[in-house]
Amino acid sequence: MREKAILNYVGNLHSGLPSVLFIPGAMTSPNVFAGLANYLPCQSAIIDWNNSDGPWEVETVGKKVLALIRELQLGPTVLAGYSWGGVVSLAAAIDDEEELVKGIMVADTGACAIGHGDPDFPRKLEKDWPDRELFREFSARCYARPISQGMYQQLEDYAMALKKDTVCQAAHSVRESDFRDRLNEITCPVQILHGLKDQSRSKIHAQILADGISGAELFWMDCGHTPMVELPGEYLEKLLYFLDRVGLVEDPAAMDVLHAETGKMSIIQ
C-alpha cells in the first residue's frame, strides 16, 4: 500500500498513463476490487480512504481524489466508485474544474441518503463500535448472493481494525450529503450500475442519478448492493464497456511502457 500520497492506495501508478481509480464503500476493504486490474487495458489502483488521514467526509475525500490525480500527474482517469465511494465520485466530478476526470462509473450509490439503509446506523456506531454483530448487521444489507467465507472474513477483519472516528464521521457525512441539485454540474460521461436486490440503496436512488445527469447510462444487475463481489464477471464487462465508451486508452501501445516496468519490478522483487 502507498501511504505517502494524499490518500493511501493499493497498486502502482505511473504519471501520464490512463488510469482507473477504484473507490470502495464505507468500512469496505479494497479487496472487493481485487483481481480486476489483471483484465484492464490501463493501470489502476484502489483508494483505501478508510485507512487514510481524515477528515472522512464525502466532499473532502472527493477533493483529495482530484488532488491525488494532480499530484501523481496521471493521464486520463476514470473513477469507479461503489456505495460511499460512489458518492465520492459524484462529489469529485462536480468539483472537477480542471477536467481531470475522464468519466465516472458508480455502483449502488445515490445523490442523497433519503431512504438509505438504517437511518439510525450512525448512532449505533457511536455507541458500540467496534462490534462484530453491528458489522454483521451492516454486511447483511450488502449481499443478496452468497460470498465466500474467506472474503467475508477479510471484510470483517478489515472493518474491525478501523478507527471509531473514521466509521462514525463517514456514516454521518454520507447521510448529510445531498447532490440532487448539483447533478447537472457533472459534465463527464457517467455510467450507473445498480443491483435489483439492493437492500441498502433503492432503485429510486439510481433513477435520480440517471435522470439528473445528462447522458448517463443506467444498467440494472441481478444482485444486491455489491456487484463487483456478487457478479464480478458482469461488473468487469460493464467497466470495460465504459472504458471503451469514454476512449480512456486511445493509444494501446502506450501501455507497453507500463507492462515493461511492472515486469522489471516483479523480477527485482
Q: What is the pLDDT of residues 124-176, one digit of tens each?
A: 999 999 999 999 988 999 999 999 999 999 999 999 999 999 999 999 999 99
Region 100-115 average pLDDT: 95
Provide the pLDDT confidence category of residue 251 given band limits of 50, 70 and 90: low
Residue 3 in 3-state DSSP?
coil
What is the secondary structure of 48-107 as a DSSP string? -GGGS-S---HHHHHHHHHHHHHHHT-SSEEEEEETHHHHHHHHHHHH-TT--EEEEEEE
Domains, the chain: 9-268 (3.40.50.1820)
pLDDT at 250 (0 to 100): 75
Q: By percentage, how much of the chain surpasses pLDDT 90?
A: 84
Write down the mean pLDDT value for the chain.
91
Region 237-261 average pLDDT: 75
Provide the pLDDT confidence category of residue 268 given band limits of 50, 70 and 90: very low
CA dist., res. 113 & res. 251, Å (int): 40
pLDDT at 57 (0 to 100): 97
**Whole-structure pTM value:** 0.91
Longest dimension (CA), the chain: 54
* C-alpha cell, 224: 444486491
pLDDT digits (tens, 9 = 90+) for 227-247: 999 999 999 999 999 999 999
* C-alpha cell, 109: 450509490
pLDDT digits (tens, 9 = 90+) for 56-84: 999 999 999 999 999 999 999 999 999 99
Cβ contact 114:211 at 8 Å: no
